[in-house]
Structure 1
């Protein structure tokens, strides 16, 4: 009999749906909304967990063989020394939410939505000529399942797609592939920069002052990936000096973003609260069930995390 423990802020919701699924040879042993150091978990071999909670609770699971993450990012689990268990992530779940987020803000700027809001507020009739996404160039950093959805949508808008990726090289939605070493040279082509990279040693600090200074002044930078990919100080300096049009930020080195942080004061910065794509328990449980049935049959699991590359 496989024994499952659940560690998540949505633990009760997960437990109810998994119980309803009546999965064979599985018993839910413990359900917690916070990290634990001990409990009735010594025989649990499967853990469904928010990575931050799972990472600091591993000592309570000596027989753990498989951990299913509830998040797309699993960095906390990669930072621990223990590596004798399989980690599976969440893929092909967040693409639709993320593309809506990205294109909501791209259209916000191209269609001058804030300007029309200001005109309405001041009761001014002043028709404007809006820009179009057609023919514009989007630089997508990270071409996993989410990046692919963004690239696909960009082609519906007849945009040019540049992609920075270490693996995918055969994508019909991409017009040009760029290596990390080429980004500064290609920066002046980008009307929009969309950052979707995971936090890895290779990606950390990739978006630096040299790259930001090479972008055209009308460029909008959208970071819905990981904050560590961007040199936050360099981005702040770029925005304060208005070297680019704007930034849309969903992730930060410190979260919640402190009230005294300069980002809050910048008119050319839009701040969202790490909400570009939300883990919905229904979606996560569907992925867990798929993987559990594979686990039960001794088959390879989906979305296994490669500790060597970080995703």
Structure 2
């Protein structure tokens, strides 16, 4: 730890990030980098100690090795919440933090919007409108319905708060269960299959870990009610897409709202595009106007702690992945 570390801001919107650091840490040497390919050389040339980084050009090309195996980088600050694109790292060598909570409210609104869309049959009414067809369709309240939130970090907690405000029954799953405001029940992951049969909406917001990869699979879909709706705002790979397609074809669930996919961008020939009971968004549920500035400000606040030798907030345990 240095009181005057060299900092790299690795983002596709460097001007806003540089402005925040200029305002909050005007005495530091700050470099901006807006490509994946240029980052390794810049780290080496500047001997950077701290790197704030955003995954803005997908995971496969992300320069993880330059960050977590650098001889000079001591702290990597992730601009979002997920850290699966870093793979494994040695916490004795480098500290990794994330920006958990930066988009919790927006993701919760996305989840609530998806629940309302299905309960109000908005997609069905849109089809009838385009066909200039009067009549048909049916709306249902979400009040009194049950939502199962898988993953009760900041996003899951925000979802439960909004669902409870709408009069819903709220069930939750977290690795270490404990009573939580806005949750009627909190269970450990072993209770998942038993809880699914009670849920009208299942919202998945867990990180991608060895324990969560394929979590929403054939057995999971088999335990759901035929009227259940899956909302996935986690990471591609948590839902087994082949099992999802099988469940949709077999009408074992009502539908799904998906913001994350195993392959991104979702290939144009992927069969998921063809389902009228599947809402597809391009991994954008957390991207709202100003999120990047909010994230950099969170980093700037943490940087004050780093420079004064205080513990950092949102430190990620590589074993847990959060």
Over 3 Å counting, the alpha-carbon distance change for 1:49 and 1:133 in structure 2 is: same
Kept in 1, the 8 Å contact 2:24–2:300? The answer is no
Specify which structure has the bigger relative contact order, considering alpha-carbon pairs within 8 angstroms and separated by 6 or more residues: 2
Measured against aligned partners, the alpha-carbon deviations of 1:43-73 in whole angstroms (never above 9, x if no partner) come to 2111111255451433894211111111211
Rounded to whole Å, the distance in 2 between the matches of 1:136 and 1:201 is 31
Distance 1:192 1:120 in 2: 26
1:10 correspondence with 2:19: no
Indicate the residue corresponding to 1:206 in structure 2.
Answer: 215
Contact 2:54 2:80 in 1 (8 A): yes
Residue 169 (1) aligns with residue 169 (2): no
Q: Does the residue aligned with 2:6 lie in a helix, a strand or coil?
A: strand
Residue 12 of structure 1 aligns to a residue in which SS? Answer: helix
The corresponding residue for 1:23 is 25
- What is the match of residue 108 of structure 2? 99
Match of 1:33 among 8, 32, 35: 35
Paired with 1:238 and 1:83, the residues of 2 have a C-alpha distance of 44
Which structure 2 segments of 5+ residues have no match?
Answer: none
For 1:209 and 1:60, locate their aligned partners in 2 and report how far apart those are by CA, in whole Å. 38
Question: Is the contact between residue 221 and residue 248 of structure 1 (CA under 8 Å) also seen in structure 2?
Answer: yes
Deviations 1:227-248 (A, max 9, x none): 2222221111111222111011
Which 10-residue stretch deviates more, 178-187 or 23-32? 23-32
Question: Secondary structure of 2:202's match?
Answer: strand
Q: For 1:205-224, what aligned pairs fall within 5 Å after superposition?
A: 205-224=214-233
> For this pair of structures, how many residues does the alignment match?
310
Contact 1:41–1:61 (CA under 8 A) maintained in structure 2: no
Mapped to 2, the partners of 1:80 and 1:306 lie a distance apart of 10
**Rounded Cα–Cα distance in structure 2 between residues aligned with 1:237 and 1:90:** 35
Q: 1:164 touches 1:178 (CA, 8 Å); kept in 2?
A: yes
Please identify, of 94-103 and 165-174, the stretch whose mean Cα deviation from structure 2 is larger. Answer: 165-174
Q: 2:310 matched to which residue of 1?
A: 299
1:173-220 per-residue CA deviation (whole Å, 9 max, x = no partner) reads 111223322222221111000000001122222212111012111111
Native 8 Å contact 1:250 1:276 kept in 2: yes
Contact 2:177–2:187 (8 Å) recurs in 1: no
| 1:269 counterpart = 2:278 | yes
Check 1:257–1:123 CA distance in 2 against 1; reply closer, same or farther (3 A cut): closer
1:122-141 residue pairs with structure 2 within 5 A?
A: 122-126=131-135, 129-141=138-150
Counterpart selection for 1:230 from 239, 248, 263: 239
Partner of 2:264: 255
CA 100–172 in structure 1, closer or farther in 2 if over 3 Å, else same: same
Structure 1 pair 41–74 and aligned structure 2 pair: CA distance change class (3 A): farther
Cα deviations by residue, 1:6-32 (Å, 9 ceiling, x for unpaired):
22222333123322x141542114534
The normalised TM-score by structure 2 is 0.89
User: Shift in Å at residue 253 of structure 1?
Assistant: 0.7
Partner of 1:45: 49
Asked if the contact 1:220–1:244 (Cα under 8 Å) also holds between the matched residues in 2, the reply is yes
Give the stretch that moved more between structures: 138-147 or 201-210.
201-210
How far is the alpha carbon of 1:125 from its aligned partner? Answer: 3.4
Under a length normalisation based on structure 1, what TM-score does the superposition of the two structures give? 0.92
User: Which structure 1 segments of 5+ residues have no match?
Assistant: none
2:64 maps to 55
